[in-house]
Chain A
């Protein structure tokens, strides 16, 4: 027997990342902005998407791919508002690009302006997986504590926007919005911060404006469709 060393030197997810890049470019060229929405369980992702659909009703077309471990409860909540397809991970704690592609076979996106992917509630694993998004958004609800950015650096480093959710609860919890923003900006100085409350709709207009701006930028650089996910 002879030992032979094969030099590889590549990210274990290189092939998945290539697929994500291809899909991102394809969706970008047709004018669909893809938004990967991440947070810990229950931070308010589905509620935000419901409020977003209501805000845009009749003005922009949006669709949602929603990842869930087992149930289709979030898909049921969103179905009255916009086209939605459920991605059941069968217990896996994060979404991967092949599942997103499967979902897109059932969801027609040709005339969709904004495609949201609601990831599985988890601040760790989803941070490592490119789902072909143009914009990655992390939600942090005020009940989770303002020290979270530093504890989950990868998630905050790889996001373009931080949504601080459930701001109506601020009077009841020891959460400093400034401290959370400061902590997050040490990790990712380019993060856009958007405080929102999905119940009162406070901040929803600014959130929607941010996404409209992102889509304008996408349309302006259409053919390039370059990755915006930087680490």
Chain B
């Protein structure tokens, strides 16, 4: 099981982003996985639960987006989703297909909390717009 090592790396990257962007805490971490990502959802969740408490992101939620395996035919350019692992173009039967999604474990986005800069203002509403 290599999920521990992947989640450890994921959390290190999130911690770096938190510092780089001057945030106080991380509220959510969005990741993407598919049938050929080589990771198991349950093992990722378990590893996350175990490791997150040891980081600066202890309050973070892990949001997993499961996507299908998608491909493009190199011969006729048709884009399609694969239901199984038979790499054949449904349009022209070509086996020259390139995977376009669902084969990686990707970090999509991170939601961080930043302290309001304009403390002078007593209003509850933040006066500094969050920049993406």
Contact = CB atoms under 8 A, between A and B. Distances in A.
Interface of A: 1-13, 16, 92-94, 96, 124-125, 127-129, 150, 153-154, 157, 186-189, 230-231
Most buried by B among A3, A7, A9: A3
A129 B2 CA distance: 10
Nearest to B98: A230
Contacts of B104: 11-13
B55 interface: no
The interface size bin for chain B is 35 or more
Interface of B: 1-2, 5-6, 9-10, 13, 17, 21, 23-24, 27, 31, 35-39, 85-88, 95-96, 98-99, 103-116, 126, 128, 130-132
List 5 tightest A-B contacts by C-beta distance, closest first: A128-B38, A125-B2, A153-B85, A189-B95, A4-B130
A153 B36 contact: yes
B85 A150 contact: yes
B87 to A, nearest CB: 6
Contact of B111 (A3, A125, A129): A3
Contact of B106 (A4, A11, A186): A11
Nearest to B22: A4
B1, B2, B103: most-surrounded residue (chain A CB, <10 A): B2
Nearest to A155: B38
Nearest to B27: A3
A7 B109 contact: yes
Contacts, number: 116
A2 B116 contact: yes
B114 A8 contact: no
The secondary-structure label for the interface of chain A is mixed
A8 B31 CA distance: 10
A6 B90 CA distance: 37
B36 A231 contact: yes
A46 to B, nearest CB: 22
A121 to B, nearest CB: 14
Given A150-B85, A153-B36, A154-B38, A5 B130 contact: yes
Identify which of B104, B109, B128, B132 gathers the most chain A CB atoms within 10 Å of its CB. B104
B2 A92 contact: yes
Given A12-B105, A128-B39, A157-B85, A1 B113 contact: yes
Contacts of A153: 35-36, 85
B6 A12 contact: yes
A41 B109 CA distance: 38
Contact of A11 (B36, B105, B110): B105
A205 to B, nearest CB: 29
A3 B113 contact: yes
Nearest to B94: A189
Contacts of A96: 5
B125 to A, nearest CB: 10
A5 B114 CA distance: 10
Nearest to B105: A12
Contacts of B6: 12-13
B39 A4 contact: no
Contacts of A157: 36, 85, 87, 99
23 contacts: A1-B24, A2-B115, A2-B126, A3-B113, A3-B114, A4-B21, A4-B23, A5-B109, A5-B130, A6-B21, A6-B109, A8-B13, A8-B17, A10-B107, A92-B2, A93-B2, A125-B38, A150-B85, A157-B36, A186-B85, A186-B87, A187-B85, A231-B36
